[in-house]
Amino acid sequence: MGYGTNLGASDVYLRGVAMERKENIYGFQNFEQFEDTETDTVIYGLKKFVSLALKGNPNILELPGTRDEHIVYMNSYGEALRKNRGIFLSKRIVNTFGN
């Protein structure tokens, strides 16, 4: 839907960001992302999301700009992330979008 290709037979792509559990934050376990190819779902851990966003990853940078009507669920942490999405933008992005 983000590209104007939402036709009757279009797929639904679910993307999200999740805060890691304390075991992951402390380093006892590792969580980068959850993927389900059958439902085309990818949920990024916050640490991985921030790392990719700071590198200017285009797939990541579009998440905070998702239209309100396309959001399935968002808590106060997600709202804070969206309100501060500008902190991830830099001149570095020129290179990630093909100059």
Domain-embedded: residue 9: no
* 8 A C-beta contact, residue 78 and residue 49: no
Task: Render pLDDT for 1-37 as a digit per residue (tens, 0 to 9).
Answer: 455 555 566 677 899 999 999 888 888 888 999 999 8
Task: Render pLDDT for 34-90 as a digit per residue (tens, 0 to 9).
Answer: 999 888 899 999 999 999 998 888 889 889 989 999 999 999 999 999 999 988 888
Domain-embedded: residue 19: yes
Alpha-carbon distances, residue 73 vs 26, 61, 87, 92 (angstroms): 27, 18, 23, 30
Q: How many domains does the chain have?
A: 1
Greatest C-alpha distance within the chain: 45
**Enclosing domain of residue 24:** 14-96
- What global pTM score does this model have? 0.77
Domain-embedded: residue 2: no
Domain-embedded: residue 6: no
Domain-embedded: residue 71: yes
